[in-house]
Chain A
Amino acid sequence: GQQVMQIPQYQHVQEGEDFTTYCNSSTTLSNIQWYKQRPGGHPVFLIQLVKSGEVKKQKRLTFQFGEAKKNSSLHITATQTTDVGTYFCAGRGNQGGKLIFGQGTELSVKP
């Protein structure tokens, strides 16, 4: 079945450093989504990417969807302590169906 792998599992950075998490699917995706879950909180939708090679930005966050629609990345420039949390990618297969979540990348930011 479809699998979505996400790396790294953990990332510890100094405030001001950049951060990137990567997501890879075993099959071609129709779209990919990114969610953020603060410690003790619930997942919050960040963005959805649909087109091959798509790049979207939200302030310091840059999201990319690979040309083959099998991988994606989230890059945070100049991290802040407010960026702390776990970032999940979630992909949906070409045939539709349920959303498959990656394992998440837990980001900690040292002030």
Chain B
Amino acid sequence: SAVISQKPSRDICQRGTSLTIQCQVDSQVTMMFWYRQQPGQSLTLIATANQGSEATYESGFVIDKFPISRPNLTFSTLTVSNMSPEDSSIYLCSVDPGGRGELFFGEGSRLTVL
């Protein structure tokens, strides 16, 4: 298992601004995953963050909108840039510490854009 801390837990932001979400894991992991969960919806993978290389983005998500940093094996950030109300979602960080494909999630960052 893994203990994952995310900050902020929630925020209310103005349209056009950017917000950076932090994810800290209590153990070293190769990959960190960023998911979006829109209200009442399922989980959609935004990107996979590897230490020492650029993140891999899924279809429909681009680096300019969701820049990701992965400075070391226990930490990552996701920035939501130039926000609009459509970006209002829960953003979740997750890891697979055992390498068996079993994901552990952070508590999530609930973002509301006005």
Chain B residues with CB under 8 A of A35: 103
Q: Is the CB of A103 within 8 A of B42?
A: yes
Q: Is the CB of A43 within 8 A of B101?
A: no
- What is the CA–CA distance of A48 and B98 in the complex, to the nearest angstrom? 13
Q: Is the CB of B104 within 8 A of A45?
A: yes
- What is the CA–CA distance of A44 and B100 in the complex, to the nearest angstrom? 15
Chain B residues with CB under 8 A of A92: 101
Q: Which of B76-114 contact A (CB under 8 A)?
A: 92, 100-108
Q: Is the CB of A44 within 8 A of B105?
A: yes
Interface of B is mostly: loop
Q: Is the CB of B101 within 8 A of A33?
A: yes
- What is the CA–CA distance of A92 and B102 in the complex, to the nearest angstrom? 11
Number of interface residues of A (CB under 8 A): 18
Chain B residues with CB under 8 A of A88: 42-43
- What is the CA–CA distance of A40 and B102 in the complex, to the nearest angstrom? 21
Chain B residues with CB under 8 A of A102: 42
- What is the CA–CA distance of A40 and B23 in the complex, to the nearest angstrom? 19
Chain A residues with CB under 8 A of B53: none
A90 to B: closest C-beta gap in Å: 8
Q: Is the CB of A42 within 8 A of B92?
A: yes
Q: Is the CB of A99 within 8 A of B108?
A: no
B112 to A: closest C-beta gap in Å: 14
Which residues of B are in contact with A by a Cβ distance under 8 Å? 41-45, 48, 58, 92, 100-108
5 contacts between A and B (CB under 8 A): A43-B92, A43-B103, A45-B103, A98-B45, A102-B42
